[in-house]
Homo-oligomer: A and B are copies of this chain.
């Protein structure tokens, strides 16, 4: 019987979970995860040895981590993930997302599984090459507020690009509202940035938000490309992770993809969920984005320095052929905290300052230049 059961590979991948409770509870939890995430079936009724041996998750190790939690490494068969990002995520955290006290800390995939993903097309190096910026941190801002007309947004884009900003993206809430419909906005903003580039000799890029209905995302990506946008913004918490992967891997689109964290926060709140490292770093890379936006420590959100370190670590943690990606700390970044942020992040980073860029003075071009010169001066110190 077993010999006729098709299996592509006996290789396994490893997930590190943080489990809360005492030793006995944690051991029971780990055993439960092995079942829940694979066969979801009473162990005593498993019909074949093959299933017990190859399909069910396996505890590789459990180690005490701190006073109230343990780290358990559990392996799953590569075949359980069915060569799909959706099913891989399902095996990692599908049902157990509904059980308390379980956190995905780290994802470790063998080449066999990593090779099923193309990964980031540009990565840090590709983005630097596209933007013509060799060493310094990249300057990143957003077009807002919602309610401006497309023309007004394009004017902002023009000013930012003239002032030396490298990446100018739609605010993640700009979709296809009546005040600034998608196609009109994207055409005008792309044009505005191209015009500024001609004047400055720089290569700033306009990044269009293509987070939209399932059937719309690809159409918007295609339109954005045609209209001269040189990157797309996607919130995988809203579109699903695989939609981002599909756009990133699409040869006909072939634009940088920037990941926005909207609707993903619940995964990193509280004990359970997914670590900052795995969610905003590893999963974003697996899904092919070239840059990952997340709230910086000390801003108006609640991430700690250690959590941001976890994300940065994941942007270049060895994951086979997957290129390192760019961390984009945001969420209340201001000109005032750039020096501290530079000390923390070093050069391979994009500082995303949104509203804060309006605060320095009445002239946006001047404010952008100030930002640019500040970063330039820090880099040369």
- Name the interface residues of A176-190: CB closer than 8 Å to any CB of B: 176-179
A7 CB within 8 Å of chain B: yes
- Name the interface residues of A1-31: CB closer than 8 Å to any CB of B: 4-8
Indicate which residue in B5, B8, B172 contacts A94 across the interface (CB closer than 8 Å). Answer: B172
Interface segment out of the listed A75-83, A158-166, A372-380: A75-83
A270 CB within 8 Å of chain B: yes
Indicate which residue in B84, B96, B149 contacts A213 across the interface (CB closer than 8 Å). Answer: B84
The interface centre, meaning the residue of A179, A356, A358 with most chain B CB atoms within 10 A of its CB, is: A179
23 contacts between A and B (CB under 8 A): A5-B179, A42-B356, A45-B355, A48-B147, A79-B178, A84-B176, A86-B175, A86-B211, A86-B213, A87-B173, A90-B175, A94-B238, A96-B265, A97-B263, A98-B261, A98-B268, A98-B302, A99-B302, A100-B269, A213-B246, A238-B242, A266-B273, A270-B272
A109 CB within 8 Å of chain B: no
A313 CB within 8 Å of chain B: no
Nearest chain B CB to A18's CB is how many angstroms away? 14
Indicate which residue in B99, B176, B331, B356 contacts A82 across the interface (CB closer than 8 Å). Answer: B176
- Name the interface residues of A220-274: CB closer than 8 Å to any CB of B: 235-243, 245-246, 261-274
- Complex CA distance for A243 and B97, rounded to whole angstroms: 20
- Complex CA distance for A96 and B300, rounded to whole angstroms: 11
Indicate which residue in B50, B144, B146 contacts A147 across the interface (CB closer than 8 Å). Answer: B50
A201 CB within 8 Å of chain B: no
A91 CB within 8 Å of chain B: yes
- Complex CA distance for A264 and B272, rounded to whole angstroms: 12
Given A51-B146, A90-B211, A98-B264; 13 other pairs, CB 8 A cutoff: A38-B146, A40-B171, A42-B358, A46-B145, A82-B175, A84-B175, A94-B173, A94-B237, A99-B265, A99-B301, A214-B242, A240-B240, A266-B270
In the complex, the answer to whether A147 meets B94 with C-beta atoms within 8 Å is no
Interface size range of chain A in the complex? 35 or more
In the complex, the answer to whether A266 meets B272 with C-beta atoms within 8 Å is yes
Nearest chain B CB to A281's CB is how many angstroms away? 15
The interface centre, meaning the residue of A42, A86, A149 with most chain B CB atoms within 10 A of its CB, is: A86
A89 CB within 8 Å of chain B: yes
In the complex, the answer to whether A94 meets B235 with C-beta atoms within 8 Å is yes
A217 (CB) vs chain B CBs: closest residue: B214
Indicate which residue in B84, B176, B179, B213 contacts A7 across the interface (CB closer than 8 Å). Answer: B179
A359 CB within 8 Å of chain B: yes
- Complex CA distance for A55 and B358, rounded to whole angstroms: 19
Indicate which residue in B40, B93, B236, B272 contacts A354 across the interface (CB closer than 8 Å). Answer: B40
A54 CB within 8 Å of chain B: yes
